[in-house]
Amino acid sequence: MSSYNDYDGEPITGSYHFLTEILRQEWGFKGYVVSDSEAVEFISTKHQVANGYEDAVAQAVNAGLNIRTHFTPPADFILPLRSAVKKGKISQETLNQRVAEILRVKFWLGLFDNPYRGDEKRAGQIVHSPEHQQLALEAARQSLVLLKNEHQTLPLSKSIRSVAVIGPNADERQQLICRYGPANAHITSIYEGIKKMLPQADVVYKKGCDIIDPHFPERSANDGRSHRGGKGSGSYRNGIRRKRTYRKRRQVTHFIGLARQTERITQKNLPIRQTSGIGND
C-alpha cells in the first residue's frame, strides 16, 4: 500500500521513483500496489501536483499503482481511467502491465483454481491465541520510549496509596476496536491496567478534557494561548478572541484539584504542565 505522504514534494502514490524504480527494480517486488483510501484523489486535491482527478489517476497508474482503494463506487476510478487511456495519458502497454502484475499474484496464490482458500475453523484457533498475544505484548513493550522519569516515578511503587489517571483515552475501549484491528479483542484500558497492577491503591479516573476542543488547533490546552501568538485566557484567530468555555475551565480545574490529592498523576493524551508522572503519549 502506497502511503499518503510526499517526499520532497512528490506524492508517493504518484511517484515512479518510489513505486517502480525503488520498489520493483531495486527491491525486486513482484506483487501489486494498492493505494490508501483516497490517496489517488489527494494527488490533485491535497498535494496539488495534478490538474484534476483524471490527471491524478494517470500519474498514479504510470507511477506503478495497480489498485485504487476508496469507499466510493468503482466507476469513480474506472471512468477517468478509461478517459486517460483514450487521451493517451496512459499507454496500453502500461495498462496491460498493471493488470498482469495483479493476475500474476492471483495465479501464484492459486485463486483461479480455488478462490476460497484457507480454513475458517483454523482462524478461530489462531486469532487471540496465547502465543500471538504474548508476541503482541512484547512488540508493544519494545515500541515504548520513556522520554522522562523525574524522581524515578517509574516503575510505580507497590506502596503508592493513591493514583490519579487523567485523560480522554485513559479509560477508552470503543475506539480501540475498529476495522484496522481484530474483532472481539479483550480490551484493558490504561485505567483498568493500573488498578490491577496496584490493587492496594486508591486509583481514580477523570476524563479531564475532550480529545479535540471546539477551537483545536488554534489554542493550547495548557494556558489558553493561541498557537498563532494570542495571549490571555482565550485564543485569537482572524482577529477574533475565543475564550475558553465554562465547561472546559471546569474540567481543567477539576482534574488539577484531583491531581493535588494524589501521589502520582498519569496522563493519557492530555497536555498539562507541572506534573510528576508518566507524562503525555
Contact (Cβ atoms closer than 8 angstroms) between residue 164 and residue 262: yes
Contact (Cβ atoms closer than 8 angstroms) between residue 276 and residue 265: yes
Nearest to 187 by CA among 128, 246, 99, 234: 128
Q: Which residue has the cell 507524562?
A: 279
What 3-state DSSP class applies to 35? strand
Most distant CA pair in the chain, distance = 74
Parallel, antiparallel, or unpaired: how do β-strands 162-166 and 202-206 relate?
parallel
Rounded to the nearest angstrom, the gap between the alpha carbon of residue 127 and the centroid of all alpha carbons in its chain is 22
Contact (Cβ atoms closer than 8 angstroms) between residue 189 and residue 269: no
Please list the active-site residues.
Answer: 36
Q: Determine the Cα–Cα distance for residues 242 and 8; give it in Å rounded to an integer.
A: 36
Q: Is the dihedral of CA 104, 74, 89, 40 positive or negative?
A: negative
What 3-state DSSP class applies to 107? helix
Verify cis geometry, omega within 30 degrees of 0, for the bond prior to 182.
no
